[in-house]
Amino acid sequence: MSGPVENGQGRGGSSEGESSLRRGNINFDVLEPETPADERPAPTDRSGKTEELPSKRGIFDTDRKSSAIRPHHVLLWVTIFSVSLLSLVAILTTASSVIWMLALPVVLLSLVWSAIMLGLYKARPR
């Protein structure tokens, strides 16, 4: 991850040195990138666990191009979250066959993933 002094692309011209430290050290720049993906150098190490972290996403960097979050993305996450939660409650309260237990990993993973995405979206810097 580029250090605070180097992070000259902090949002709104705020203290660049602090942009990577906001909100529990989670870098939210992935949600609202300020520079087009084409202008940023593509990282060479997909794991991100190298000595030099070339982009401002640091260890969370991937080779995918970033894009702003659209309203339909949020709607999709809310839908997945709701459906997963309802499915979980339905399975726990109405199912009796052991086979339904195999649906729990799918339901729980989608619930956790959608909750994380919604949490990140809600906690994004404004």
Partner 1 sequence: MLISRKTSGWDLNNELSKVGVRWLLVGAVGVYLFYRLRLIPANATVNVGVAGTLNYVYIGGFLALTALVNLGSHVFLVVRKRTTHTISRKFKYVSMAFDLIMVTALLPPTGGRQSMFFLVYLIVIVSNGMRYGMRLSLIALILFNILYVGVLFLETYPSLVLQDFSTEGLKILGVWFVGIYIGYLARRFEHLQNEVDHYRKMIREMSGGKRP
Binding site for partner 1 (CB under 8 A): 1, 3, 5-6, 24-26, 49-51, 53, 58-59, 88, 91-93, 95-102, 104-105, 108-109, 112
| Residue 68 or 102 having the CB closest to partner 1 | 102
Cβ atoms 48, 58 nearer than 8 A? yes
CB of 59 to partner 1, least distance (A): 6
List the structure tokens of 79: 């839908």
Rounded to an integer, what distance in angstroms lies between the CA atom of residue 52 and that of residue 43?
Answer: 10
| Residue 38 or 51 having the CB closest to partner 1 | 51
Q: Which residue has 């940023």 as its token pair?
A: 40
CB of 36 to partner 1, least distance (A): 25
Cβ atoms 113, 18 nearer than 8 A? no
CB of 20 to partner 1, least distance (A): 8
Q: Give the Cβ contact number of residue 113 at 10 Å.
A: 14
